[in-house]
Amino acid sequence: MSGLCAACRVGIAIVKGDGIGPELVESAIEILNAATAFDGPTLDFETVSGGADTFSRTGEAMSAETLERLRTEYAAIMKGPVGLPEVRHKGGTEGGLLGGVLRIGLDTFANVRPIRLLQGVNTPVRHQAGDIDFVIVRENTEGLYLSRGVGVRTAHAASDQLMVTRHGCERISRYGFELARKRRGAPKDGARRVTCVDKSNVLTSYAFFRAIFDEVAAEYPDIEADYRYADAAAHDLVADPGHFDVIVTENFLGDLLSDLGAATVGGLGMCGSANIGLGVSYFEPIHGSAPAIAGKHLANPTSQVLCAAMMLDHLGYVEVAGRIVRAVETSYAHGEIALNSLGQPREGTLAATKTIISHL
């Protein structure tokens, strides 16, 4: 319990999401309830509306009123994946997404995406459990995504702009170095290392990003500052993942590299993430709503379950959070959850959830 009060009531907002979102969130809630039953806080879950379904009904993915409630009324937010490819704005982009609404609206500037290969999980790469254990710290409020919703399009051309600010680069770099101080270093050599991933060989905005990263790095002489161009990073994340400890990167690059990292650790269903700011934070899988498998109980709930652990950890309930992570690890290590080649648990979503609960 880490000194926090077990009798406390903690308000958690739930955004169930679209596609596989509701079934995954249901799994995570079951696990949270089971894990907190004896010595945890009482979690009061309250569902709020948001996503593609909301957009189809109301014309916006989340109302301003709901966003304001999320900002002010809850300790944390558990979010399932949202969006459906067919739900689109006239301009061609998707209407049901919440990335812009929540990340900008709550100023959750750090998208923290742990990529870890667990014992017992099949991977298409040749590495073993323990060889892959790094965290992508993705800048979440600017970069190429600053153009979200304001790109320009004519009949002949279209444009989005990539912009980074000193404030944005500084705070994401500092987050990365602080995180590295809390970790045990890279699997290969134990070095505490923060790798700046950019394309500063080509684009001015990335050169600026790296310059600010260097200014912050100078404040952390105990942590190795390291660099990769994004193309080489993509290569090394597959060929030499044990080199990486913490990666700090721009928004769009972080989006791409995190799905690549997931492929090396058993698929998208293995990876949860935290969107962290100075106010309320929210927790969601790195993947999307996987509409083709929605409602079939084929999806791997591990991503959402690890989100639940990250949420409890963030709220200070470190022991309960650790118990959930260990239950996931044991379930795979014992072969009680086994994934098929598509990253789906062979026995289905519900059985995987029950297995994790049995190890709490």
CB of 70 to Mn ion, least distance (A): 21
Number of residues that bind Mn ion (CB under 5 A): 1
For residue 347, what is the DSSP state? T
The CA distance from 101 to 305, in Å, is: 23
- Neighbouring-strand partners of residue 225: 194
CA gap 286, 236 in Å, rounded: 21
List 14, 97, 197, 262, residue binding ligand IPM (CB under 6 A) = 97
Residues between 88 and 117 with contacts to ligand NAD, criterion CB under 6 A: 94, 97
299 makes contact, choosing from Mn ion, ligand IPM, ligand NAD, none, with CB < 5 to 8 Å by partner type, with ligand NAD
User: For ligand NAD, which residue has the nearest CB?
Assistant: 288
Rounded to whole angstroms, the Cα distance separating 237 from 254 reads 12
How many residues form the binding site for ligand NAD (CB under 6 A)? 22
* Type of residue found at 283: F
Q: Residue 213 and residue 226: Cα distance in Å, rounded?
A: 10
In the beta sheet, which residues pair with residue 274? 112, 283
The nearest distance, CB 292 to ligand NAD, in angstroms, is 6
Does position 303 bind ligand NAD by CB under 6 A? Answer: yes
Q: Which of 54, 140, 251, 344 binds ligand NAD (CB under 6 A)?
A: 344
Token pair recorded at residue 30: 């079951």
Does 293 bind ligand NAD (CB under 6 A)? Our answer is yes
Q: How far apart are CA 360 and CA 348, in angstroms?
A: 19
Token digits for 9? 């009531």
Query: Residue 198, interface with Mn ion (CB under 5 A)?
Result: no
- What residues numbered 59-88 form the site for ligand IPM, per CB under 6 A? 83
Q: Give the chain's end-to-end CA distance (angstroms, integer).
A: 15
Contact yes or no for 74/11 (Cβ under 8 A): yes
| Between 41 and 83, CB nearer to ligand IPM | 83
* Binding residues among 241-270 for Mn ion as defined by CB under 5 A: 255
Residues that bind ligand NAD (CB under 6 A): 81-85, 94, 97, 267-269, 284, 287-290, 292-293, 299-300, 303, 343-344
- Residue ranges that bind ligand IPM, judged by CB under 6 A: 83, 97, 99, 255, 286, 288
